[in-house]
Structure 1
Amino acid sequence: SETIDTTSEIKSYKVRWLILIVASLSATLRSFCQSCFSQISNVLARLLKVQLWQIDWLVVNQSICFILLTLPIAWITEQVGFRKSFIIVTGLLILGVSVERGYYLLLLGQVLLGCNITFGYAVLPLVSSIWFPSNEVASAIAIQFCSRGIGEALGSFTTPLLVNIHQSNAVVSFRLTMLFVPFVILSVVSLLVSYAFVPDSPPLPPSLAQMKKQIGSAKIHTSILESLRLNFFKVKALFSSPSFVVITTATGLVNPVFRVYTILLSSMLRKEFAGEPGLNQVSGYLLSVAWIFYTIAALLTGPVIAKTKKYRAILAFSAFIQLVAQLSIVIGMRLKLRALIYPAVLLLGAGAGMTETSLTELSVEITYPLEPSLVSSVNLIAMGCFRLIYSVVSRALLDKYGATASTLPEPILVTIGFILIISIPMRFKRMEADTPES
């Protein structure tokens, strides 16, 4: 049976939990594939006969997908609706995890996963806003980010456990191929469930804010060119808001930092502590725990935001935590202090979990009633641009000057993001709309 609100025109349906489960499973699978290669970059480089920077691009290529495909995918999501978008996400996941043989086919699989991730970011806020009441929206977002954290944690330590530099190429190739068999099976199951059980929208909206949005944006059939023109003006309207520009810039500056360490940490440790055995495993375990911290922080942040509505204060606090962690890593690398580096990486994971949940929720809050998928997409472009810059610059600094130099750009730019977050006044539009008198 369904849970009915005090207003008969508002209702929450149990199918929302099935939709959230499928969305979370997809996030876990694609996140595993994001993190599973970087910790064994030297093993893969030998197996595939490529350079270390080419292994980085198994993840970095996704930034290109964010930059080039995000707005087109946001438009597609708006045109085809929630159900078809959800099916596309699970369908692309099958393709992404099925192509895993040889460097260029492996890269193609990761590019397809990049497309999947881009669609996933567009669909993520829709799962919450279309299906969940206002008091559950932040928690639904947090659960999806938690699922991502679980996938990243599993990917970080699984591959260093399965393969190492002392094994033959034949053993490494076989073990990695077998690793992805259950992923294909789970992806097919997700697609079938999406096709069979996921509707386009609930019969009745789950909140006053969603009901008012539906009333204010009745479906108008337009041509493709007219639809593109309307989307151009929506993006223009977003950037007319100083608070949104600040949040988008902060998203780009702060969000990608933890990802850079997911890509480069094993290479940094091998460079700084050259000759010591087992550094891939150390990096894998460390990042796995860091992603668990990310998951816990994201899970706790959603309900805290829902209860306190302290969007900006929580975001500023999480950015400050990341800044402290990054400065500690810089000092630890410079002095070769593992006792400082390792806890700092864990702290960075916790800060990243808080940051991502609060950034997503705050962006949707201040831009209401614009489509959450469009807002998320613009933020994703900013994140893709900075992630690309961070990853390429840090790899170049690592190869030429060492691990300490490769850790310097991030704390400088995150400091700028922190200052932006605390400096601009913001209006919480969705909170205002979710009151009967508004």
Structure 2
Amino acid sequence: MKNQKEATPLINPGPENGDANKEVVKASPERWVIVIIMSVVSCMRSFVLAAFGLNNNVMAKYFNVEPWQIDWLSNVRALTMVLFCIPLLFILRRFSVKTSIVAVVGCSATSLTLASLAVSFRQGYFIAILGQVMSAFSTTIRIPLKSAIAAVWFPANEIAYAVGIMFIGRALGKATGAVVASHLGSISDSPSIIRMRLLAVFGSFAIATWTVLVFVVLFIKPRPKHPPSIAQAKVLQLQELQESTSLKEELIQFKNVQLKLLTNVHFLTAWFARITIDSVPRFTTTLLSSILQANFSKKGNTSVDGGFMIMGLCLMSIVGSFSAGPLLSITGRYKASVAVSTGLASVSCVLGIAGLAVTSTSLVYASQILLGLFVGLASVSVTELIVQVTYPTRITDAFVFNVIGVGIMLVVQTTIARLLLEKFGPIAPFTLELFCLLLATCLLPFMKMPFYRQEAAASTTENQ
């Protein structure tokens, strides 16, 4: 890092310097290429996760294991995120956004390669576990990286759109994976047919991801020539004015930031909402096939029904993510957007419970479609809310506890939901999901949130 003498002023407040500020604050067209890369890689990785999760019974038969062991292909990702997020994100905070992008794509490519190897023979379950560990590394870095890319590369009025587009990759991957996976294999198919189909899809994704990695290494810059917004320029100025620190000093700073976040009630409230919202679609993908099998086994192919339900959820989450962009840009109501969308997501859970109670596939379909819409809106909104209440803290620092929280929530929720399903039937897991969403919804209205990033941009505009 540069020392104070070398620092270059990036912000020149005052009307006489308005033109100068316009020249140093400029968006780069390269930003859209980066967003597309992140979305495509996330799409392929999420496809594989959906294929393992939704085809739970088929994968269990193929690998000759129990269904709960297939659940752990998801849970091992969550545990890996919990155990490794702090050292991983601390190391990466010392490097550029490009380095983090390379790490995300590289881990994804390795994960997809291991998944291809795992399905190539019936004893590949533990190789699939290793693939999920690498996928967890990729996800751990990607969770804060979405906001970091948006802040470093995008102007303020495009940040919500950029985050929304990066959510699309995961949603689209789950949507296509959910439907295609239900046709890649069924209980009645021979292992050789399942092997051939899975290997063709996973192998193609692995090759494509390695190709993307080469492109990123060769052509993506560490950061844009000019900061894209006044708020980002201020962050760069603060970083450049700091003295260079040793690894030990930076570790102390990192620890102090985390302790400060743990005493920040605004952050903790937004954090709880974030981990609750993010775990909902993951939990649904993992357990939905078992829930439908328990409740609708006499009504046809539950794997196909589950695939289309997850597809509907994920596609509608794309609509919700895109809706968040103009909504937040126009209103700036981050907290209200999260509270309303989580509240409506809770209503969709009630609809799903009703569908299971009266054995109506149509009602469960409707509940998943509405859940996707409101979860998509809530995911983008709560991500921006966390950035607002922690600015100008490094985004990678602010999202450490998000990674830990999502990992813990996913393991706990999936494990408890599986037990509830076996002991009390298919309605019980949906009730657990409803309880978590209602808890997040009820906490937000009573907390007044400061929007520090928004205030930083507004104060400079007023001074000009």
Common fold by TM > 0.5 = yes
Contact 1:125–1:376 (8 Å) recurs in 2: no
SS at match of 1:12: coil
Amino acid at match of 1:332: G
What is the percentage of aligned positions where both structures have the same residue?
28
How far apart, CA to CA, are the structure 1 residues paired with 2:193 and 2:41? 28
How far apart, CA to CA, are the structure 1 residues paired with 2:51 and 2:356? 24
Q: Which residue, 68, 75, 91 being the options, matches 2:83?
A: 68
Say whether 1:148 aligns with 2:163: no
Q: Which residue, 444, 454, 462 being the options, matches 1:421?
A: 444
Say whether 1:433 aligns with 2:460: no
How far apart, CA to CA, are the structure 2 residues paired with 1:235 and 1:243? 14
Q: How many residues align?
A: 435
Residue matched to 1:410: 433
Segment drifting more, 359-368 vs 211-220: 211-220
Structure 1 residue 377, shift from structure 2 partner: 2.7
1:151-300 correspondence runs (5 A):
151-218=173-240, 220-300=243-323
Residue matched to 1:129: 151
SS at match of 2:287: helix
Contact 1:255–1:355 (8 Å) recurs in 2: no
Q: Which residue, 100, 103, 111 being the options, matches 1:96?
A: 111
1:312-351 correspondence runs (5 A):
312-351=335-374
Q: Which residue, 364, 371, 385 being the options, matches 1:362?
A: 385
How far apart, CA to CA, are the structure 2 residues paired with 1:255 and 1:117? 12
How far apart, CA to CA, are the structure 2 residues paired with 1:237 and 1:346? 39
SS at match of 1:7: helix
Residue matched to 1:384: 407
SS at match of 1:399: helix
1:281-309 deviations in Å (ceiling 9; x for gaps): 11001111210001111112122211211
1:303-346 deviations in Å (ceiling 9; x for gaps): 22112111111111110111001112122222222232110111
TM superposition score normalised by structure 2: 0.91
Residue matched to 2:53: 38
Q: Which residue, 4, 9, 15 being the options, matches 2:30?
A: 15
Structure 1 residue 87, shift from structure 2 partner: 0.8
Structure 1 residue 239, shift from structure 2 partner: 2.3
SS at match of 2:23: coil
How far apart, CA to CA, are the structure 2 residues paired with 1:262 and 1:86? 26
Amino acid at match of 1:178: A
Residue matched to 1:307: 330
Amino acid at match of 1:18: V
How far apart, CA to CA, are the structure 1 residues paired with 2:250 and 2:191? 52
Q: Which residue, 105, 119, 122 being the options, matches 2:127?
A: 105
Structure 1 residue 432, shift from structure 2 partner: 0.6
Structure 1 residue 11, shift from structure 2 partner: 1.2
SS at match of 1:164: coil
1:144-200 deviations in Å (ceiling 9; x for gaps): 001211111111111111211111111111111111122012101210111011111
Amino acid at match of 2:182: P
Structure 1 residue 255, shift from structure 2 partner: 2.8
SS at match of 2:337: helix
Task: Identify unmatched segments of 5+ residues in structure 1.
Answer: none
Q: Check 1:18–1:339 CA distance in 2 against 1; reply closer, same or farther (3 A cut).
A: closer
How far apart, CA to CA, are the structure 2 residues paired with 1:240 and 1:404? 37
Q: Check 1:69–1:313 CA distance in 2 against 1; reply closer, same or farther (3 A cut).
A: same
SS at match of 1:201: coil
How far apart, CA to CA, are the structure 2 residues paired with 1:274 and 1:98? 34
Amino acid at match of 1:83: K
How far apart, CA to CA, are the structure 1 residues paired with 2:77 and 2:299? 32
How far apart, CA to CA, are the structure 1 residues paired with 2:334 and 2:224? 28
Contact 1:77–1:122 (8 Å) recurs in 2: no
How far apart, CA to CA, are the structure 2 residues paired with 1:112 and 1:95? 7
Q: Check 1:201–1:388 CA distance in 2 against 1; reply closer, same or farther (3 A cut).
A: same
Structure (1 or 2) with the larger CA radius of gyration: 2
Structure 1 residue 5, shift from structure 2 partner: 9.0
Amino acid at match of 1:290: L
Q: Check 1:322–1:36 CA distance in 2 against 1; reply closer, same or farther (3 A cut).
A: same
1:48-59 correspondence runs (5 A):
48-59=63-74
How far apart, CA to CA, are the structure 2 residues paired with 1:140 and 1:372? 15
SS at match of 2:318: helix
Contact 1:253–1:413 (8 Å) recurs in 2: yes
Say whether 1:116 aligns with 2:138: yes
Q: Which residue, 21, 26, 29 being the options, matches 2:41?
A: 26
Contact 2:353–2:431 (8 Å) recurs in 1: yes
Amino acid at match of 1:297: G
4+ runs of 1 displaced by more than 3 Å? none
Amino acid at match of 2:181: T
1:111-147 deviations in Å (ceiling 9; x for gaps): 1111111111132111100011111111100100012
